[in-house]
Amino acid sequence: MKRIPALCLAVLLLFCCMAGAEDESLSTVDFEDFTLQPGVPLTYRGEKTDGMPLFAFSLTVEGNIALSAVNAVWSREQAQLTPEEFTGSVRNTESEIRSRYEAGGYVLQSLDVRDAVECEYWGQPALRCDAQMQVNINDTEVIIVQRTIRITGSFGTYLFSLSSLSSDYLEEADDALVRAIRWRQP
């Protein structure tokens, strides 16, 4: 489970740096546990596979750069975590995130993870953990703010990750994700 938050964060950096739609359809996308209608083209659509990205989309695109992006990863894990455990799992991904960025030619200069909080998304109990990264991209320092939302139930665990270049864009991405998902009844 420790590798999944790192995968979410690494995937989001790639989508923040390059925006390009593979799926031009803006229609509803059906997944096993919910439907997704993002209102923008998906940049990635996968299958429900343990630990792998399920979908990604970019918001607020300027030129070839997405100022915010959203993705999701599903896992079989059904264990509920405390906010402290979730914070620790996100903090423990720093070395893996650093390695992934270095492999892409970027430098992770810092990762500041805030304490996770219990909250509610789509009427379900959730954990939310915000972080801020300082990344050097092509000799330019970029601040990336991120939010990871963890929803766990009989369906397993979904980690929804949002990434943006400002707090305002992060909140817009959060609102867009909430509007885009309709959970199926159990």
The better pLDDT of the pair 63, 156 is held by 156
When pLDDT is averaged across residues 78-84 and rounded to a whole number, the result is: 97
Distance between CA 53 and CA 73 in Å, rounded? 4
Contact 117, 78 (CB under 8 A): no
Identify the pLDDT of residue 49. 96
Rounded to the nearest 10 degrees, the angle between the axes of helix 3-17 and helix 94-103 is: 40
Among 72, 59, 36, CA closest to 166: 59
CATH number listed for the domain at residues 3-183: 3.40.1000.10
Contact 54, 31 (CB under 8 A): yes
Contact 43, 25 (CB under 8 A): no
Confidence of residue 74 (pLDDT cuts 50, 70, 90): very high
When pLDDT is averaged across residues 168-178 and rounded to a whole number, the result is: 95
pLDDT tens readout for residues 111-149: 999 999 999 999 999 999 999 999 998 889 999 999 999
Domain ranges for the chain, please list them. 3-183
Identify the pLDDT of residue 66. 80
Distance between CA 159 and CA 53 in Å, rounded? 9
List all residues 6 or more positions away from 120 whose beta carbon is below 8 Å from its beta carbon. 126
Confidence of residue 63 (pLDDT cuts 50, 70, 90): confident
Distance between CA 57 and CA 102 in Å, rounded? 23
When pLDDT is averaged across residues 84-95 and rounded to a whole number, the result is: 96
Contact 67, 164 (CB under 8 A): yes
Give residue for tokens 């963890």.
Answer: 150
Identify the pLDDT of residue 61. 72
Distance between CA 24 and CA 158 in Å, rounded? 24
177: phi then psi, degrees, rounded to nearest 5: -65, -45
Radius of gyration of the chain (CA): 15
Rounded mean pLDDT of the chain? Answer: 87
